[in-house]
Amino acid sequence: MDFFTRGQLMDWNQLSSAGVIETMSTSSIWDYNSHSKNRQNSVYLNGDFGWNWQINDYHSIGVTYYAYSYVGNGTSEEDGEKEVYKDGELVDVIHTYSKSLSKPRISRTVNAYYLGQIGKWTLDFSADYYRNRSEQEINTTTNGENSASSITQTKNQFFAEKLTITAPVPKGELTFGEEVTNVNRYSDFIQSGYAEDNHIHQLTTTWSLYANYGLSLNRFSLNTGVRWQNEINRYYLDSKRDEEKSPNFHVVIPYLSAKYLKDDWSLGMAYRCYRLNPAYSMLSSAVEYNNKYSYSAGNPFLQPQVHQDLSLEAMWKWMYADFTFGHVDNTYTRFFTPFNEATHPGVILSKYTTMPSGYYYYLRLNASPKIGIWQMNYSATISYTDRDLAPMGIAQTFHGIEADFTFDNTLTLPYSWLLNIQVNYSPYYESGFTQRKASCTMNMRIGRRFLKDKSLNVAVRGSDIFRTYRKKYVYYNGLSYRRDYNSTSRIQGISIDVSWSFNATRSRYKGSHAGQAERNRL
């Protein structure tokens, strides 16, 4: 039997500034010229404790407990000025300061597992429990006077269990099982009078049956699988159930792949269908105050994204390439409209909405050679999206190619020090409703493991070392709405990571996790 513990203390500071020029057309044309600085600061502590027991060669059980919390308040500050024009005439100049406090609340996670072998059959069972509470307080002043405040309190409770059984079959393997998740979420939003309070209770239960069959034929391998997924939703607003916001889904999700392997190279192809549910916070109907002329909200009517992909891949030694052609329904985006022209002239509402269906093409290239102490990992991604945005009222649509390049270098230095230098470069592109300027940034990390058992790990991270990162783009994301955004990048930051493992036996812990996709939504 083994015990292990681990803890980590993290500190992160971030400063950025941005200039924005916006134009919205209603019965009048409103123009906004704004500049703001943002600063984030947080310190948090996390650690875990675990126990596992290898009963014999065929049976193993274990459990872990993980906890996470801020140390003091996490803060986010925005300080900015805005000039507002109506039909070309200056009507308002405001200075806005907003401060957000994320108050310390402990998040807890428990995972338990059983892994066993009965004859030639393998059983893998995992159960997860997660409990989290958070409180965020936002206060905003305009020209030195209090203009709005809000408090958001969230309580999440999550349970999941998963059983996977593996059985040998001629020339292959059959895997099947079941998975159940249950989410119980409360979100209370209280504001100072600019909108409405709301109290949301969300219940989601998802249960699935799945099976996968793998077959090996000399140099060929084939895999086919299917998942039958059932999702039951209950949405309560101010203690009243809303049927329109409580959809149920019963879907079949298939999978098929084939691969050919010979010596140092391989070829493969696959068809995948997968679903992505919106984060629970995106389903909120609360209206949040950004400044006098800008509000934001979620959308409780969002539907799951559905992707269907056909991919081809090839690999030779340290070179890899894959190409994907896909179709997607229900992509999410922020959409900008007038909040209420009659009662709130000039106020913009930013709200999540669903985009029309579209096709996408994605190419990824990767090379990872090693020369002495130098491990390289260079990658390039190129993508193209074909989508008609006219049904959303967006007249300006671009059909350009997006690209991104990453140059990742790791050097093994004397005395076991590791130096990692990463450079990311994105050239100019026009795609969808967005035009974006080229950007580049460089990050660095140097670290080493100490003590005889290498249980103490110390690293220093630097982000945007030369302060070269820029966000400059124009997008047409709303009815008669254009936004020019220019971030002059001060996300330059330094952090220190320190972790110490006690009686570290993590490699012996054989537990997996259940319901991770649903957990990530929280």
Q: How far is Cα 371 from Cα 169, in angstroms, rounded to an integer?
A: 43
Cα distances (angstroms) measured from residue 438 to each of 354, 430, 431, 470, 483: 27, 11, 13, 8, 17
Domain membership of residue 317 (yes or no) is yes
Domain membership of residue 310 (yes or no) is yes
* 3-state secondary structure at position 201: strand
Q: How confident is the model at residue 17 (pLDDT cuts 50, 70, 90)?
A: low
* 3-state secondary structure at position 67: strand
Q: Which of 17-26, 80-89, 326-335 shows the lowest mean pLDDT across its residues?
A: 17-26
Tally of domains in the chain: 1
Sign of the C-alpha dihedral computed for residues 234, 240, 242 and 245 taken in this order: negative
Q: How confident is the model at residue 5 (pLDDT cuts 50, 70, 90)?
A: very low
> Which residue has better confidence, 421 or 41?
421
Q: How far is Cα 171 from Cα 216, in angstroms, rounded to an integer?
A: 6
Q: Which of 27-31, 281-285, 315-319, 418-422 shows the lowest mean pLDDT across its residues?
A: 27-31
> Which residue has better confidence, 10 or 373?
373
Domain membership of residue 477 (yes or no) is no
Q: How far is Cα 400 from Cα 386, in angstroms, rounded to an integer?
A: 9
User: For every residue of 346-381, which 3-state class applies, written as one string?
Assistant: EEEEEEEEECCCEEEEEEEEEECCEECCEEEEEEEE
What's the pTM? 0.84
The total of other beta-carbon atoms located within 10 Å of residue 140's CB is: 21
Domain membership of residue 339 (yes or no) is yes
Q: How confident is the model at residue 228 (pLDDT cuts 50, 70, 90)?
A: very high
User: Of 471, 377, 392, which is closest to residue 423 (Cα–Cα)?
Assistant: 377
User: Which residue, chain included where needed, has tokens 């050097």?
Assistant: 411
Domain membership of residue 247 (yes or no) is yes
Q: Which residues of 406-423 are buried (b: 16+ CB within 10 A; e: fewer)?
A: eebebeeeeeeebebbbb
Domain membership of residue 19 (yes or no) is no
Domain membership of residue 309 (yes or no) is yes
User: Of 208, 249, 244, 210, which is closest to residue 232 (Cα–Cα)?
Assistant: 249
What mean pLDDT comes out for the span 257-285?
Answer: 94
Domain membership of residue 211 (yes or no) is yes
Q: Write out the residue range of the structural domain in which residue 327 sits.
A: 173-185+199-283+295-351
Cα distances (angstroms) measured from residue 275 to each of 171, 323, 517: 31, 20, 10
